[in-house]
Amino acid sequence: MRVRELSIAGAWEFTPVQHADDRGLFLESFTAPQVAEAIGGEFTLAQVNTSVSAAGVIRGVHFADVPPGQAKYVTCVYGAVLDVVVDLRVGSPTFGGYDAVLLDDSDRRAVYLAEGLGHAFCSLQDGSTVTYLCSTGYNPGAEHGIDPLDDEVGIRWPSVGRDGAPLEFRLSEKDRQAPSLRAAVDAGLLPAFGTES
């Protein structure tokens, strides 16, 4: 598995080696020792989530209170998504910045993001299926979001899908009403840099 550190500290891309023959293919989509080596500690698995999204669906930018926070290992098992990691840690050198990775059923990459980082993606085709390995379980009182279309963050979402057709963005009501980055800072919602577990 090839490992690449992203431009946001605490985030990595993992690209598995695929072994194909006339029967299909095999790959290791997650190996605890390689993830631990990259992140400098063990990744505790507490919950596995799966989402299925139509083309143009944007989910996020989501994050959890720190501590304990929620680290994630995310992959797209069917379809394609532009996966985005946003640095929401106040005081971080890359605060408000983001990095993006294409996750799809061709290269079968995964992204790891540490506690305190925000996560979002845009589905590039109908039925895109994303699996998230999470370090903590769902805690509705500790889950938050910021507006994925916030100009201050400036995520360059794709305008066309995997098939070349124009994308029409669709967001949940919760994500549509999420505060801007500035409003989240002012409300004290964001984690401080260095408080990640």
112 included as an active-site residue: no
pLDDT for the residue 194: 84
pLDDT for the residue 79: 98
pLDDT score of 195 more than 90: no
What mean pLDDT is predicted for residues 42-56?
Answer: 97
Residue of 73, 119, 132, 144 marked catalytic: 132
Which secondary-structure segment (H or E) carries 78? Answer: strand 72-78
| pTM of the model as a whole | 0.95
Question: Residue for token digits 């919760």?
Answer: 174
What mean pLDDT is predicted for residues 137-151?
Answer: 95
pLDDT score of 141 more than 60: yes
pLDDT for the residue 37: 97
pLDDT for the residue 196: 61
Q: Give the angle subtended at the CA of 39 by the CAs of 181 and 128, to the nearest 5°.
A: 60
Q: Give the angle subtended at the CA of 192 by the CAs of 186 and 193, to the nearest 5°.
A: 135
DSSP string, 25-60: EEE-S--HHHHHHHHTS-----EEEEEEE-TTBEEE
What Rg, from alpha-carbon coordinates, does the chain have? 16
- On whether the CB atoms of residues 43 and 73 are closer than 8 A, the answer is yes
pLDDT score of 162 more than 90: yes
- Percent of the chain's residues with pLDDT above 70: 99
Residue of 62, 73, 112, 144 marked catalytic: 62
**Both tokens of residue 162?**
């995997």
What mean pLDDT is predicted for residues 55-81?
Answer: 97
